[in-house]
Structure 1
Amino acid sequence: MRAAKPFDPLHLDVERFARESGALQGAWPLEAFERLTDSQAERQAPAGRQVQWQAGGQRFERVGAPAEVWLHLGAHATVRLVCQRCLQAMDVPLEIDRSFRFVRHENEAAELDAQVDEDVLVLSRSLDLQELVEDELLLALPLVPRHENCRHPAAGLAETPAADEAVAERPHPFAALAALKRDLT
């Protein structure tokens, strides 16, 4: 009897992985993720940083319909971004926990994608799991990275949620003019 061929995360046969309820996990160096590294405060990822990941495949048989093929993916990493308040480097933890449903054709994926909330991809005999992990980590990046508490260089004031609320509670500078206008009419 021939031993089952091991799964290669860089050339993953998703259908076989799901059929055999495959499971993979590991760590890749952060610098292996070129696009993610390009989004960081420093072009060079801090030494020793890694992306920890795990993947699992599932296949659900359906009566009168093709089986559903699923890939569950989780990963976490810490990247260094620039705080948009103080413009200093900061570490930002990223976490992903996603499930993907695979279908056979592009048009089926497009049709299902419009109908359901789940992520739908086209089946591939050679899915690059590292690329998918990188795509998902890029989507997990904050739009505006900023420290919880930091000093804004322009204002010289501590920026905190309490300070943001105080600014929101101040009367609008044109409120007095609006009141005057109401009184005149």
Structure 2
Amino acid sequence: MRVVAGEFGGRKLKTLTGSNTRPTTDKVKGAIFNMIGPYFDGGIALDLFSGSGSLGIEAVSRGMEQAVLVEKNFRAMEIIRENVTMTKNEAAFQLMKMPANQAIQQLALRKEQFDLVLLDPPYAKQEIVKQIELLLQNGLLSTRATVVCETDQSVVLPETIGKLKEWKRQEYGITAITIYDWED
């Protein structure tokens, strides 16, 4: 696995061995960012189920100013730290070792707002709709926010969640990518 494009493009990323994480393939990652960018002019990203940190690192590589990487697994967090160190731009990343819903609560207390949210939870444990609703209720999304959800292709998310409307849905093998933007 590697960073696909941008400032860190081509750099190899480490992944956790075993079945604890399911890294987004380079092909799917490249497709996601080509749909939503492919490059950004600043902003803050939230990678709520970081795994290896790949999606958040890709977002910063492509122009996001910062990324908050949330992961509850200790071993995965160690891999994220190594991958962030590889960027030689550690200041652009904030790591939070805790479950996603707890991170949402802490970020709400700090009144953070995100321009890009990446949701790639373990397929069997996904609560994407609930988590997007929590992000909305807590004012964590900027009015230009894009929310990217990666699920098993059999999962069909609602067309609208609060003020967010599905902009695009694409399938890649067993993976589905659903992208939400603010409803006009």
TM range, smaller chain: under 0.3
More strand by share: 1
TM-score (norm 1): 0.20
Say which one has the larger Rg: 1
The structure with higher relative contact order (CA 8 Å, sep 6+) is 1
